[in-house]
Amino acid sequence: LLTPALSPGQAFTELQAKVMDTQQKVKLADLQIEQLTKTKKHAHLTDTEVMMLVDETRMYEGVGRMFILQPKGVIHNQLLEKQRIAEEKIKELE
């Protein structure tokens, strides 16, 4: 069961298709990394602002079309988790 040898033209076409596919995957990964970096930075900046507020400040978490009153610590932990997840995904894509 030997596979027939590809002609030079067929081999080139096949290789060219693989190169294009790889380039598209790299572009997609770069776009995902860029978006995750923005998400991480946004969460960091938000957390920086939240931590400057006094502990008694009323904070609300957006859930769908409503808002839920949350303690400052819960909001802080959610923002840290968001940053951690984004960082992990960036490392996976790299």
pTM for the model: 0.74
For residue 2, being part of any structural domain is answered with no
Report how far Cα 66 is from the mean position of its chain's Cα atoms. 25
pLDDT band at 12 (very low <50, low <70, confident <90, very high): confident
For residue 13, being part of any structural domain is answered with no
For residue 18, being part of any structural domain is answered with no
Query: Do 76 and 68 contact (CB within 8 A), yes or no?
Result: no
Cβ neighbour number for residue 71 with a 10 Å cutoff: 13
- Which has the higher per-residue pLDDT, 10 or 41? 41
Q: Tell me the residue type at 58.
A: R
Average confidence (pLDDT) over 36-44: 97
For residue 6, being part of any structural domain is answered with no
CATH of the domain at 45: 1.10.287.370
For residue 46, being part of any structural domain is answered with yes
Question: ∠61-63-68 over CA atoms, to 5°?
Answer: 45
For residue 74, being part of any structural domain is answered with yes
For residue 35, being part of any structural domain is answered with yes
For residue 16, being part of any structural domain is answered with no
Range(s) of the domain holding residue 55: 23-93
Question: ∠34-39-45 over CA atoms, to 5°?
Answer: 125
Structural domain count, the chain: 1
Measure the CA–CA gap between 83 and 47, rounded to whole angstroms: 10
